């Protein structure tokens, strides 16, 4: 009877013989014959070994850039399959709000999809030679390997890989930090590490819960945003780029910038604050658009002040000044150097032209204090899909501010505040300033009394202004009446004028 030691001894002899035979085969067999034999050997193994392997490298392309697919798989495994791994690796990835856990090298986990088992393994190839490449300190290569039975090829290649990539993108969106971007001057793009855009962490605390606005209006805006975020298939079906335009208009202090911050926090989008006056021309504007990411809000604040985009003709004085600037370089430099050559046409192409389809899931927001100054082509439906008027503070907005600043839902003085808000125009910013506690000794009642005094003063100032305007209008009307009477007298040569003056009661 064969003992265990004899079995291991025989196995060792067989393995040694196979290694020796393989070495002799590689050294002495002709290369063409060896290639044919290896091909037949692979086919033979393929009939016996029923599994398929797919390799996903970390870097690819001529510049060896990090693959988005690898990152998506890493995020997917960190949120699901890695929960079953015995050895994990924690990494702090740029722009992520938390540590990202992934499988350690040479670790394998089992995943399941629609009742089918498959295996993920994390692999590392260590290079033996040093490198001086700028993107890495060594030529080590990481990759994931997906192994599955060949009978499940159609399911894995179709549904499963798509599921992994979509889930990985969702995990990345949940973990990433929101960013606030601003465009760098076109002439200095080469001097900035970030290129065309610079960014900081977006930490604005505004939400729709803290936004001073009528609840019904807030719900309408939130529903519109949710419909947009879920509308990928809808936009593909109707043949439109997945983007939406919002126009926020109203007096200063009505919360337009706060609304943008609330939208970004609600959707978990990045914000690109575009300063048009620093953009050299339409070409540079397109380049900036291409560099924006998906799931972002592109903002142009005070669009009526950014450039001459009103569509109105220049006055003769403006044309003369422009001609003088072109002829006098010193005067041009005194006004701040070369002016932007972005045109209305270039901006319209930026909003809804061919270039606007570069990247999905983008919102474009314009803000203005004077909507009547904007060119109708800029704000028509299809470009600015939704117009939101940011108006003066109403009682519902006041209650939100009272809850935010004073922590109260009701008070006996609310009745007086409500009556005054119905008779007086005051912006939410001014109301909030009066509700802010100025010292530790001040309480909510003192703040409300201060607000009531401010509202009463604003009401009185508005009354006086209205009376002054009415008086000025009467004076102008009388002057126009006298002027018409004088013209009529001149036409009649003075005859009958005294009678007409007497009849009209003009002295």
Q: What is the pLDDT of residue 428?
A: 94
The answer, yes or no, to whether residue 480 has pLDDT greater than 70, is yes
Q: Which one has a higher pLDDT value, 488 or 161? A: 161
Q: How many helices (H) and strands (E) does the chain have?
A: 19, 15
HSE toward the beta carbon, residue 347, CA cutoff 13 A: 32
- Phi and psi at 88, nearest 5°, equal -120, 160
- 3-state SS of 103-128 is ECCCEEEEEEECCEEEEEEEEEECCC
CA atoms of 22 and 212, how far apart (whole Å): 79
Radius of gyration of the chain (CA): 36
Strand 296-300 and strand 362-368: the pairing is parallel
CA atoms of 469 and 463, how far apart (whole Å): 10
- pLDDT digit string, tens, across residues 207-253: 999 999 999 999 999 999 999 999 989 988 988 889 999 999 999 99
Of 167-176, 222-231, 473-482, which has the strongest mean pLDDT?
222-231
CA atoms of 391 and 255, how far apart (whole Å): 9
CA atoms of 359 and 413, how far apart (whole Å): 51
Q: Which residue, chain included where needed, has tokens 């003709």? A: 313
What is the band of 314 on the pLDDT scale with cuts at 50, 70, 90? very low
Q: What is the pLDDT of residue 136?
A: 44
CA atoms of 408 and 279, how far apart (whole Å): 47
Q: What is the pLDDT of residue 427?
A: 94
* Closest C-alpha among 256, 236, 240 to residue 248: 256
Q: What percent of the chain has pLDDT over 90?
A: 33
- Domain 179-311+335-389, CATH class in plain words: alpha beta
CA atoms of 401 and 263, how far apart (whole Å): 18
pTM of the model: 0.68
Question: What are the DSSP calls for 253-285, one per residue?
Answer: TSSHHHHHHHHHHHHT-EEEE--GGG--SHHHH
């Amino acid at each position: 009877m064969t003992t265990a030691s004899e079995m291991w001894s025989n196995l060792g002899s067989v393995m040694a013989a196979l290694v020796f035979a393989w070495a002799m085969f590689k050294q002495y067999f002709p290369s063409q014959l060896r290639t044919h034999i290896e091909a037949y050997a692979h086919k033979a193994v393929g009939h016996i070994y029923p599994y398929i392997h797919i390799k996903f490298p970390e870097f690819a392309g001529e510049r060896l850039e990090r693959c988005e697919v690898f990152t998506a798989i890493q995020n997917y495994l960190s949120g699901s399959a890695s929960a079953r791994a015995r050895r994990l690796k924690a990494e702090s990835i740029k722009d992520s709000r938390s540590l990202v856990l992934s499988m350690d090298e040479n670790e394998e986990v089992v995943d399941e999809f629609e009742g089918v088992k498959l295996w993920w393994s994390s692999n590392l190839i260590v290079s033996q030679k040093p490198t001086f490449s700028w993107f890495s300190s060594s030529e080590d290569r990481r990759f994931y390997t997906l192994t599955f039975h060949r009978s499940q090829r159609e399911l894995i290649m179709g549904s499963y890989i798509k599921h992994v990539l979509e889930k990985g993108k969702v995990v990345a969106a949940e973990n990433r930090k929101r960013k606030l971007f601003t465009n760098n001057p076109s002439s200095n793009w080469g001097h900035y590490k970030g290129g065309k855009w610079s960014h900081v962490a977006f930490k604005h605390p505004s939400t729709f819960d803290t936004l001073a606005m009528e609840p019904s209006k807030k719900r309408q805006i939130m529903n519109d945003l949710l419909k947009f975020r879920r509308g990928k298939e809808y936009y593909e079906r109707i043949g439109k780029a997945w983007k939406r335009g919002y126009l926020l208009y109203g007096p200063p202090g009505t919360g337009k910038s706060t609304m943008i911050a609330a939208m970004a926090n609600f959707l978990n989008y990045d914000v690109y604050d575009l300063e048009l006056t620093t953009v050299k021309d339409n070409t540079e504007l397109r380049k900036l658009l291409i560099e924006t990411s998906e799931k972002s809000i592109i903002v142009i604040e005070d669009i009526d002040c950014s450039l001459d985009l009103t569509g109105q003709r220049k006055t003769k004085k403006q044309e003369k000044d422009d001609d003088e600037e072109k002829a006098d370089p010193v005067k041009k430099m005194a006004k701040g150097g070369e002016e932007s050559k972005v045109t209305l046409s270039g901006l319209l192409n930026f909003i809804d032209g061919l270039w606007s389809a570069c990247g999905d899931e983008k919102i474009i927001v314009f803000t203005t204090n004077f909507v009547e100054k904007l060119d109708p082509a800029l704000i028509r439906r299809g470009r600015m899909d939704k117009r939101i008027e940011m108006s003066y503070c109403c009682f519902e907005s006041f209650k939100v501010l009272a809850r935010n600043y004073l922590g109260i839902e009701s008070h006996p003085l609310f009745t007086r505040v409500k009556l005054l808000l119905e008779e007086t125009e005051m912006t939410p910013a001014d109301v909030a300033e009066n509700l802010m506690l100025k010292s530790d000794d001040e309480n909510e009642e003192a703040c409300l009394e201060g607000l009531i005094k401010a509202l009463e003063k604003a009401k009185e100032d508005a009354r006086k202004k209205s009376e002054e305007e009415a008086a000025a209008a009467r004076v102008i009307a009388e002057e126009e009446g006298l002027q018409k009477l004088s013209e009529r007298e001149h036409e009649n040569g003075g005859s009958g004028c005294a009678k007409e003056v007497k009849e009209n009661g003009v002295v």
